[in-house]
A and B are shown apart, each in its own frame.
Chain A
Amino acid sequence: MAHEEHSDHVNYFYVFLLLCVFTAASVVADVVHIDSKLVVIVIVLAIATAKAMCVMMFFMHLKFEGNWKYVLLAPTVILAIGLPLALLPDVGVHYYPADPQYPANVMVVEPHESGGDSAEEAHNGH
């Protein structure tokens, strides 16, 4: 098959080494003290995505497959991304603190000058 002819030229050992280097980089990102948690998250998820691309493109030979791969994988990827996005507004992000000792994720309602419970007032306002 066509993809087998192309994949003959891939040096799988180099791909394997690259995956090992990526894994080591993820561990280093965790061990080295980085102040911003967000930076760590971005680094390790970017590395994971790069590793996933290596596995899919070379080990799973998607780089050498026909256009059917887009038709087959696009709907599942869209649905896979859609699920967390659909849950996020309702479950992942709340306007009022679930636990009173921690601030709300997206909006902290400052106490009104006249006093009283800020969350309650904000709720009444809606």
Chain B
Amino acid sequence: MGLNLPNGKLGVWLFLGTEIMFFTAFIGTYIVYRVNHPYDWPTDPEVTHIRIWAGGLNTFVLILSSYFVVVAHEAMHQHDFSKAMKFLQWTFALACLFLGIKAYEYYGKFSHDILPGHIAETNEQAIDKTLGELKDARSAWLTALVPDEGRDDAKMTALRDQGGDEATAFFALDARITNLSDKVKAELVTMEEVTTELEEMQANEQYGTHIASVHAPHPIPKGNLFASNYFIMTGFHAIHVIVGMIAFAFVIMQGSKLNADWSVYVENCGLYWHFVDLVWIFLFPLLYII
């Protein structure tokens, strides 16, 4: 005697059982790290670039999409296939909106280099990072000025021969960066002094615009651990959203041919989608509030 449920549904529930453990591994690890670092975990939104309105809005979007899936499933059960199709399309649209908001949040992290392994955690690391960005900006400008030469020193020789106002401005910036680099090497400069120096350089009319994107030194203790946890949890969740969208796309592509044969499929997709919602329900307070 078997269970009183379709094989497909049993399969989905068994799969969801493994998914619970999959996400709990990440969420559990995050909780353990938070317990381990109760005082110095980065929580300031200005530092982490985590926006509660974005997380709250995404929570609402997923809850609404979950509701639409239930309505679609009910409509399938009542053989109202046009209504089911309409709500499945809305669900798909909301999934797109969720990923759009998520992409906006990721953009904030990428633009401020809040990425695993990229974050300076001490003053020394922060100074080195700013200096590295300055040197990269200098190289980018040099390549724009002398695109055809090979190495930087060959480009600089060519630029010196070439002369002109831009060359003068470039060498003025180069001299300041070299001077700052020497001070950093000799450990003669503090983080505050580097910040002041950078602000002065960025305000310079000759070359300031070329280094406008360089970030002032800003160490974030435990920042890399935070970023790793954030991206692995939200990243895998986003992948699950995309998988759900692909599953819904198969039904939506049926168009007017949607019929009762798809009822179990819609129910199974719905179960998966509710699970995706369920994971976000816990990620929202853990990442955006606590």
Question: A residues bordering B, Cβ < 8 Å?
Answer: 1-2, 4, 12-13, 15-16, 19-20, 23, 26-27, 29-31, 40-41, 44-45, 47-48, 51-52, 55-56, 59-60, 65-66, 68-69, 72-73, 75-77, 79-81, 83-84, 87-88, 91-94, 98-99, 102-103, 105
Is A59 in contact with B66, judged by CB distance below 8 angstroms?
Answer: yes
Is A72 in contact with B14, judged by CB distance below 8 angstroms?
Answer: yes
Is B60 in contact with A20, judged by CB distance below 8 angstroms?
Answer: yes
Is B277 in contact with A68, judged by CB distance below 8 angstroms?
Answer: no
25 residue pairs from A and B, CB less than 8 Å apart: A2-B4, A13-B67, A23-B59, A26-B285, A26-B289, A41-B290, A44-B285, A48-B282, A51-B281, A52-B278, A55-B66, A55-B277, A55-B278, A59-B70, A59-B270, A75-B17, A80-B24, A80-B28, A83-B21, A83-B25, A84-B29, A84-B32, A87-B29, A88-B35, A99-B221
Is B274 in contact with A47, judged by CB distance below 8 angstroms?
Answer: no
Min CB–CB distance B159 → chain A (angstroms)? 47
Contact A73 to B274, CB < 8 A, known contacts A23-B63, A51-B281, A92-B32: no
- Which one of B18, B35, B277 has the greatest number of beta carbons of chain A within 10 Å? B35
One digit per residue, 1 when the CB lies within 8 angstroms of any chain A CB and 0 when it does not, for chain B 263-290 equals 0000000110011011001101100111
Residues of chain B within 8 A (CB-CB) of A99 are: 40, 221
The listed residue (A4, A19, A41) touching B77 by CB distance below 8 A is A4
Contact A105 to B35, CB < 8 A, known contacts A12-B67, A20-B60, A76-B18: yes
Residue of A nearest to B59 (CB): A23
In the complex, B140 has a CB within 8 A of chain A: no
Residues of chain B within 8 A (CB-CB) of A20 are: 60, 63
Number of B positions contacting A (CB below 8 A): 49
The listed residue (B20, B32, B33, B289) touching A29 by CB distance below 8 A is B289
In the complex, B158 has a CB within 8 A of chain A: no
Is A55 in contact with B281, judged by CB distance below 8 angstroms?
Answer: yes
Is B17 in contact with A102, judged by CB distance below 8 angstroms?
Answer: no
Is A66 in contact with B289, judged by CB distance below 8 angstroms?
Answer: no
Residues of chain A within 8 A (CB-CB) of B274 are: 55-56, 59-60
The listed residue (B24, B32, B37, B281) touching A52 by CB distance below 8 A is B281
In the complex, B3 has a CB within 8 A of chain A: yes
Question: B residues bordering A, Cβ < 8 Å?
Answer: 3-5, 13-14, 17-18, 20-21, 24-25, 28-29, 31-33, 35-40, 52, 56, 59-60, 63-64, 66-67, 69-71, 74, 77, 221, 270-271, 274-275, 277-278, 281-282, 284-285, 288-290
The listed residue (B56, B63, B70, B275) touching A27 by CB distance below 8 A is B56
Residues of chain A within 8 A (CB-CB) of B64 are: 16
Residue of A nearest to B14 (CB): A72
Is B289 in contact with A30, judged by CB distance below 8 angstroms?
Answer: yes
Residue of B nearest to A103 (CB): B39
Residue of A nearest to B64 (CB): A16
Residues of chain A within 8 A (CB-CB) of B66 are: 16, 55, 59
Residue of A nearest to B56 (CB): A27
Residues of chain A within 8 A (CB-CB) of B69 are: 59
Residues of chain A within 8 A (CB-CB) of B290 are: 40-41, 44-45
Is A80 in contact with B36, judged by CB distance below 8 angstroms?
Answer: no
